[in-house]
Structure 1
Amino acid sequence: MKICNRCLYSDLHPLNITFDEEGVCSGCRVHEEKDTINWKSRFEKLKVITDAYRNQSGNNYDCIVPVSGARDSYFIVHTVKNVLGLNPLLVTYNKQYNTDRGIRNLANLRVQFNCDIMTLTVNPDTVKKITRATLRKLGSIYWHCIAGQTVYPVQVAVKFKIPLIIWGAHQGIDQVGMYSHFDEVEMTRKYRKEHDLMGYEAEDLVDDFDSIEEADIVQYAYPHDKEIERIGVRGIYLNNYIRWDSKAQHEKMIGLYGYESAEQTRTFDTYNDVDCFNYSDVHDYIKFLKHGYGKITDHVCREIRLRRLIREEGIVLIKKYAKESPKQLKLFLDWIGMTETGFNFILDQHRNPKIWFRNDNWEWELKNPDPFFSESLSERLIDKVKLERVEDRCEFRISKNKRPDYKDDHYILIGKGWPGN
């Protein structure tokens, strides 16, 4: 296994990260663009693009903005409405693993920005059926969330003839350097299928074994290319035009609008996924079982590149969090109707054999339990390419809980959110 000499991603990354002659990964190299791009000029280009989509008659929205109860939703809506001056229609796919804080954040978002919002809540029985299928086929409990979050905005765009969809950051740019900022990559069906959906479109799930019929996947089906072309739907990413810094953006939104953060199970980042019981918990643990790494590595690499962590600190954090057991597994198993033994049996089929092996006791072990141990062999090269810290500390805030007496111990399908409390 090869580890990047600057951040801590390995060459076994599922998005096919690459390395140059100095042992620096493609994600780090593309990230260097953030310090050289004229972002003022890029933002002016964004304004030209979005101005062309303003609804002059006032009888429709200017654009669609996909949102959730976390991530970069607040920053995106703030930028679209308060900075660019557009009139967005917010759309959200109900992931059904909702936390109380996430429901409240979403309600507060709608109220703070005074925006219309459309929500898709798929029949829970259908969601469970699809999740059982994707867990078996792909080792994923989150396929339905990603599929819904990426297709529902497109469906709404076609139905209501709103051609512009504004997304936040494209992980192919911001994480692994699959594209340059200068490529100005836009949302495509192809990328969504191959990377976000692990090669499976909704139609691919239909089969007798999982009892999934055509009617079950309608809400996840991508509109036909002719419909896309007829409306002229395009999805742009803000991180092509704005220097993306998730931590700084969240802290601004906490200050301006009262976005709520929360401690997470398997990472130090308290901002990104507070809306979901599973994303930084069961889902991320599955990622570790399949690929040998989790969100902690994603977050450490991000903060190293943004010069808030140094590499040695990142290694300590990865060792602290990477093997952390999920806290919400029983909640998920009760929801889907599965035993822990069955859950583990299924996931064992999806472990990467380049990363995991069975020992003499038939227990799973990492082939390289400490991939950073042998790095002394290349310390000179690491010192040559490492980034210096620019901030004294890399601290993530935990905001005041607006409902401290509420026991948040079950998924909330639909909730009012209690904004302003």
Structure 2
Amino acid sequence: MSNQRPGSISEFFHTKDRKNANYLKINQQDGICDACKQNEIKNKINWKEREKKLIKLLAKHRKKNGEYDCLVPGSGGKDSAYQAHILKYKYKMNPLIVTWPPILYTDYGLNNYNNWINIGGFDALVVRPNGKVMKELTKLSITNLLHPFQTFILGQKNIAPKIASKFGINLVFYGENEAEYGNPIAENNSSLRKKSYFAVKNYNKIFLAGLKISDLIKKNKLKYSDLKIFLPISDKEINKKKIEIHYLGYYLKWIPQEAFYYAVKNTGFSPRPFRTQGTFSKYNSIDDKIDDLHYYTTFIKFGIGRATYDASQEIRNKHLTREEGKNLVKKYDGEFPDRYFSEIMKFLDLREETFFKICDKFRSPHLWKKEKNIWRLRHNVNNDGTDD
């Protein structure tokens, strides 16, 4: 994973995570991304022992009165479908599903969600934010950050502990360890995440859509009550309610392709009926029409597109060779996702030419060079950039 991806190479380990680092004798300046380090760690872990820890944790929280004893956030993708199903049917928990829905559901994404609930067999709660505010914040996120997915990501992450608090649920499960996709090991490798970005002490220090909360209220005529649903639970409340936040991928060996097969078999999950633009796969992050555009913006900002993310993960899990991955990146990375583009721009009241001007503004000169009126990367994994 390129070091142009924010957080792809961590600068330090938390003290409690150093024992994990000992698997690799890691030098933090060795140029190896955390996703690869995590992959090596994953293959050295005694997963039977980890499962014993999971069983102990579940026994601590399991309720015998029919109430929900854990909460699983998700919008119907393969990973959340897998984690909810295995918790309920293998480990005999009673999970509540909570969904912060995609900004613009795809037909097949919505069908997967309905199959997850109906075929998988779960109680579910959908939390729909104020549509007018959601649209405005998404538009501002594009204008200020070139980040069309920020509002969805924040909602998806932040809503689960809040709902757990409302329902008296003390155990929240997210899915795969996010270092699987390149996030820092230090943020993700611990089993217990009572704090971190799931809770906050000072709301005045939070930025949303690239602006301070106070500026959104003053300049954009939004109310604090409009924004609160997007913000994390307070540090005080999460500690008072003794809510524990865990990654199931810490306890069970997580391979995205295997999660896909499991979801297909047990919850009626189906891949896209066509290849996802910008990559070679059909089953990753297919719920939201804006998903494809989000990955295109990462290509603009960081020089790495969706094919890079997918190929890197498949190489680490030995489903592709590096040469195969490089060829796929060359063929698909940066492909413009035009399938839903006009619909998205119309929904957001954003002119298409304005979007492209914003993209050009976010092209870092150390990554991009314009030749004959065409933008090209200076460097890429195939070593055929303008400066390679």
User: Smaller-chain TM-score range?
Assistant: 0.7 to 0.9
Q: Which residue of 1 aligns with 2:237?
A: 227
Give the counterpart letter for 1:61 in structure 2: Y
Q: CA deviation at 1:177?
A: 4.9
Q: 2:327 aligns with which of 316, 336, 350?
A: 316
1:118 aligns with 2:118: no
Amino acid at match of 1:255: K
- TM-superposed CA distance for 1:123, in Å, is 2.5
SS in 1 for 2:97: strand
Change (3 A) 1:166 1:248: same
1:297 equivalent in alignment to 2:308:
yes
Tell me the number of residue pairs that the alignment of Structure 1 and Structure 2 aligns: 359
Deviation at 1:34, TM superposition (A): 2.1
Q: Within the alignment, does 1:15 sit opposite 2:7 as a pair?
A: yes
More displaced stretch, 155-164 vs 347-356: 347-356
Amino acid at match of 1:156: I
Q: 1:306 deviation in Å?
A: 0.9
| Displacement after TM superposition at 1:103 (Å) | 1.2
Q: Of 17, 20, 43, which residue of structure 1 is paired with 2:51?
A: 43
Does structure 2 retain, via aligned residues, the 8 Å contact 1:179–1:185? no
TM-score normalised by L of structure 2? 0.85
* Counterpart Cα distance in 2 of 1:174 and 1:286: 17
State the identity as a percent.
Answer: 28
Cα displacement (A) at 1:71? 3.6
Superposed CA deviations along residues 59-110 of structure 1, whole A, max 9, x for unmatched, are: x210111121214121111111011100011100022310111111111111
Shift of 1:229: 1.2
For 1:144-159, list aligned pairs within 5 A: 144-159=151-166
Distance 1:134 1:114, change over 3 A: same
- Asked if 2 retains the 8 angstrom alpha-carbon contact of 1:112 and 1:257, the reply is yes
Query: Secondary structure of 2:185's match?
Result: coil
- The residue type paired with residue 311 of structure 2 is V
Q: CA, structure 1 residues 131+223, in 2 after alignment: closer, same or farther (shift >3 Å)?
A: same
Could you say which residue in structure 1 is the equivalent of 2:61? 53
**1:350 alignment partner in structure 2:** 362
Q: Given the superposition, is the C-alpha separation of residues 134 and 192 from structure 1 closer, same or farther in structure 2, using an over 3 Å criterion?
A: farther
Query: Is 2:179–2:189's contact at 8 Å kept on the other side of the alignment?
Result: no
The match for 2:74 among 58, 64, 67 is 67
Q: Which residue of 2 aligns with 1:271?
A: 283
Q: 1:360 to 1:308 in 2, by over 3 A?
A: closer
Q: Which residue of 1 aligns with 2:145?
A: 138
Q: Tell which has more relative contact order, 1 or 2 (C-alpha 8 A, sep 6+).
A: 1
Aligned to 2:351: 339
Query: RMSD of the TM alignment (CA)?
Result: 2.6
List aligned pairs for 1:245-256, cutoff 5 A. 245-256=255-266
1:20-419 alignment to 2 at 5 Å? 24-58=32-66, 60-172=67-179, 174-179=181-186, 183-184=190-191, 186=193, 188-190=195-197, 200-201=207-208, 204-205=212-213, 206-262=216-272, 263=274, 264-279=276-291, 281-327=292-338, 328-359=340-371, 361=373, 364-368=375-379, 370-373=380-383
DSSP 3-state at the match of 2:331: helix
Gaps of 5+ in 1: 1-8, 194-198, 376-421
Given that residues 72 and 272 in structure 1 are in contact (C-alpha distance below 8 angstroms), is that contact kept between their aligned partners in structure 2? Answer: no
3-state SS, counterpart of residue 68 of structure 2: coil
* Distance in 2 between residues matched to 1:50 and 1:81, nearest whole Å: 11
Pair 1:191–1:321, CA change in 2 (3 A): farther
Displacement, 1:332?
Answer: 0.6
Query: Residue 197 of structure 2 contacts residue 232 of structure 2 at CA under 8 Å; is this kept in 1?
Result: no
